[in-house]
Amino acid sequence: MVPYLLVTLTIALIMDYLYPMHKGLLYLIHPVHLTYGLAVRLYRPYSGRLWGVAVWFSSVTPILLIYSAPIISIPLSNPILLLIILVYAGFIVKLSISLRLLLSLVEDYGKAINEGYLNEARGVAQQLVRRNVWVIDIGHVNSAVVESLFESLVDGFTSPLFYLLLFGPIGALLQRLSNTMDSALGYTDEPYRRIGWFSAKVDTAMNYAPARLTALLIVLAGFLMGRKPRLSTYLKYRSITRSLNAGHPLAAASSVLGVRLEKINEYSIGNGELPDTISLLTAIKLAKLTAVLFIIILILCLILIPSSKYGLIGSLIKLH
């Protein structure tokens, strides 16, 4: 059987490298942009959980169906159609991942810090994190950037590709849209607490396995880099964050880098100092190696385990 998903993955990674940031029309029709826009329009302050469920399905379902329709409806028997649908499937996965843009932003931040342009650095950092980076010291800004790097590595790369393996391009896009809904509504404070409850729970459920797998790969990458990760740090701090998932990649990164990752009045992970410029550069290398390890494992799975264009779960359903 032709490894359709391997071809799809290759196309997606090439597209992500060549065109990391969507602009113009491609931005306006981007499924993340459309889903976020729907969620914001349907949002009602202090609404209940039931309305939150309705908003989630109303925002995610139409976008998911529109973008998935060609993959679902076009047969793969015709070679020309097969080529078209593989390129389109790769495009769908490209829309679901964001690795080069993430790394580029963190690298830009590191360059600005290294050259002493602190205001420019804070401006770049604000593109990566929710917290107000203009009112905290530069050590905590460094921490915020490192935290965002490894959280986003899960949300925007390893998790979508995990669901690509299981459910094909549609699974990757579903994960990305679920994460978008969490970004739009999944806050724990008012006026979002009840309406965002469902979005937050779905995102937590979908990222549960990828977050832990990514944490293990971060530790493995640390060993390969000769960093000697402190497993006790990971085990102690992996559950310290309010999020059930975020603590895992953050604690793993802290154990490798030997730094303290801290969000003021929220959590403090690790016992070292806050990240400096050298730690930041090491974090970028660590994230890159982690991504490479994940891709290698994914490729091996796609080669060794038969799958359809709908992923491993699609193959199991077809067999039965």
- pLDDT (0 to 100) of residue 318: 58
263 phi and psi angles, rounded to 5 deg? -110, 115
Q: Is the pLDDT of residue 316 over 80?
A: no
- pLDDT (0 to 100) of residue 62: 97
- pLDDT (0 to 100) of residue 280: 96
Among the ranges given (37-51, 58-72, 305-319), the one the predictor scored with the smallest mean pLDDT? 305-319
Q: pLDDT averaged over the chain?
A: 93
H or E element that contains 138: helix 138-153
- pLDDT (0 to 100) of residue 278: 95
- pLDDT (0 to 100) of residue 319: 45
**Domain of residue 255, residue span:** 4-319
Look at the chain and report how many structural domains it folds into.
Answer: 1
- pLDDT (0 to 100) of residue 178: 97
Residues 121-159: tens digit of each pLDDT: 999 999 999 899 999 999 999 999 999 999 999 999 999
More confident residue, 316 or 62: 62
- pLDDT (0 to 100) of residue 1: 47
Q: Which of 71, 64, 60, 98 is nearest to 8 (CA)?
A: 71
Residues 269-310: tens digit of each pLDDT: 998 899 999 999 999 999 999 999 999 999 999 988 877 777
- pLDDT (0 to 100) of residue 29: 94
Q: Is the pLDDT of residue 49 over 80?
A: yes
Angle among Cα 158, 300, 1 to the nearest 5 degrees reads 115
Residues 217-245: tens digit of each pLDDT: 999 999 999 998 999 999 999 999 999 99
Q: Tell me the longest C-alpha to C-alpha distance in the chain.
A: 61
